[in-house]
């Protein structure tokens, strides 16, 4: 398969995979912070090994974290917190069965009074079940969350995402409920549209977006209207509203405006949009990534590589996995399969769960 064809075929799956990885990463970091609070950070020696373990989780040193949690068990520290932390460490290692078992143990050590940590653990448990392919169990975990917090829009949304493959009516009911709980959460609305589109219900998703545009409150910004039109594939209106919001909505408007020009076939102007932003701000890895993708589409592979690598050099950016993958694909475009293979080996050691990268690895073995 030609490199250009392969990139186009992988691109959608790669984006979905990256979103899943990002969600898990955010869950783990949020878990580290909350566990620190619940275990009493700042109180000398109380749950000391648990605190060490959560610090290791936050530093992505999952094996060290597991060792700390084992010590916490020996020392008789809070079992609910240590099993919860253990589950997070196993999640980071993509050991989802072990993670689920740990979260189940954490729930079994409840004191009988439902509180924030029970809700918290069920979210992690639902994610672990999902990654194991246990959809029914994941739905049950979201049921538990909704029973605890019946106005949790995220739980309805995520349960709808799981149901969409087998029961459209129930999925739509969940999406309707999520929307009703946050009528002006247009990011959630677009996420719902994308799930529906991916699963063959594009027209239903478009109805949601069109309805939001027609009944949108006065608080809907030009940026939000531009986003709606972009996903409705009305690129002329999208461009007009996004141009208005370009100076006020930050990098998000810049990214979407550039993508709109790409869809309109004006890659050169899209590049100028990205470069204009970069001239004033060299700290946004997402803009460098989109500039690189645009350059790839133009066949300017060396310039694309430079954009990806510049983005990778930005400290503490949350785009490293995406940028590294795109760097590998760019080396393939350049015909440097040896370099791509070396980088891919390193990539898979860090992100062993990436199915698109595994397919890329299989391809490189034939070169």
> Please, are residues 152 and 141 in contact by the beta-carbon 8 Å criterion?
no
Average pLDDT over residues 299-314: 97
Q: Express each pLDDT in 168-204 by its tens digit.
A: 999 999 999 999 999 999 999 999 999 999 999 999 9
Residues written for the chain = 367
The residue assigned the tokens 């890895």 is 285
Structure tokens at 33: 């912070």
Predicted local distance difference test score (pLDDT) of residue 215: 84
Q: Express each pLDDT in 47-98 by its tens digit.
A: 899 999 999 998 889 999 999 999 999 999 999 999 999 999 999 999 999 9
User: What is 50-150's CATH number, 2.60.40.10, 1.25.40.10, 3.90.870.10, 3.30.70.1380?
Assistant: 1.25.40.10
Closest CA to 274 of 304, 235, 232: 304
The pairs formed by 103-110 with CB atoms below 8 angstroms and a separation of 24 or more are: 103/128, 105/79, 106/79, 106/80, 106/81, 109/79, 109/80, 109/83, 110/80
Q: What is the DSSP letter of 163?
A: H
Predicted confidence (pLDDT) at residue 342 exceeds the cutoff of 80: yes
Average pLDDT over residues 134-140: 95
Q: Express each pLDDT in 241-289 by its tens digit.
A: 999 998 888 899 999 999 999 999 999 999 999 999 999 999 999 999 9
> Please, are residues 164 and 196 in contact by the beta-carbon 8 Å criterion?
yes
Q: What DSSP string runs through 253-321?
A: HHHHHHHHHHHTT-HHHHHHHHHHHHHH----HHHHHHHHHHHHHTT-HHHHHHHHHHHHTSTT-S-HH
Return the CATH number of the domain spanning residue range 221-282.
1.25.40
Q: What is the DSSP letter of 249?
A: S
Provide the pLDDT confidence category of residue 45 given band limits of 50, 70 and 90.
Answer: low
Q: Output b/e per residue, 24-36; b: 16+ Cβ within 10 A.
A: beebbeebbebbb
Separation of alpha carbons 270 and 295, rounded Å: 10
Structure tokens at 145: 């969350």
> Please, are residues 85 and 50 in contact by the beta-carbon 8 Å criterion?
yes
Separation of alpha carbons 226 and 36, rounded Å: 40
Closest CA to 310 of 339, 347, 281, 337: 281
């Amino acid at each position: 398969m030609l490199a250009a064809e392969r990139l186009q075929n992988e691109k959608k799956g790669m984006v979905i995979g990256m979103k899943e990885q990002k969600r898990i990463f955010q869950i783990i970091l949020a878990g580290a912070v909350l566990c620190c609070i619940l275990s009493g950070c700042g109180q000398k020696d109380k749950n000391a090994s648990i605190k060490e373990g959560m610090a290791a989780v936050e530093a992505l040193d999952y094996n060290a974290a597991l060792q700390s949690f084992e010590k916490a068990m020996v020392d008789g520290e809070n079992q609910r917190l240590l099993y919860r932390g253990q589950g997070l460490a196993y999640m980071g290692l993509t050991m989802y069965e072990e993670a689920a078992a740990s979260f189940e143990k954490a729930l079994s050590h409840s004191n009988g009074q439902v509180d924030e940590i029970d809700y918290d653990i069920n979210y992690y448990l639902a994610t672990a079940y999902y990654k194991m392919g246990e959809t029914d169990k994941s739905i049950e975990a979201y049921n538990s969350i909704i029973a605890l917090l019946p106005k949790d829009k995220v739980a309805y949304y995520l349960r709808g995402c799981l149901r969409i493959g087998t029961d459209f009516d129930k999925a739509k009911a969940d999406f309707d409920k999520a929307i009703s709980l946050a009528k002006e959460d247009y990011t959630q609305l677009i996420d719902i549209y994308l799930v529906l589109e991916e699963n063959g219900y594009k027209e239903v998703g478009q109805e949601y977006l069109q309805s939001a545009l027609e009944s949108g409150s006065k608080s809907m910004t030009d940026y939000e209207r531009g986003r709606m039109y972009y996903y409705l594939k009305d690129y002329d209106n999208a461009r007009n509203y996004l141009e208005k919001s370009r100076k006020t909505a930050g990098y998000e408007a810049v990214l979407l405006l550039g993508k709109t020009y790409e869809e309109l076939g004006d890659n050169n102007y899209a590049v100028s949009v990205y470069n204009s932003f970069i001239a004033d701000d060299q700290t946004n890895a997402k803009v460098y990534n989109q500039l690189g993708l645009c350059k790839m589409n133009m066949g300017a592979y060396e310039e694309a590589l430079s954009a990806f690598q510049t983005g990778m050099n930005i400290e503490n950016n949350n785009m490293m996995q995406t940028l590294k993958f795109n760097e590998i694909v760019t080396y393939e475009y350049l015909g440097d399969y040896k370099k791509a293979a070396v980088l891919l080996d390193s990539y898979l050691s860090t992100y062993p769960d990436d199915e698109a990268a595994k397919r890329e690895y299989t391809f490189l073995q034939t070169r």
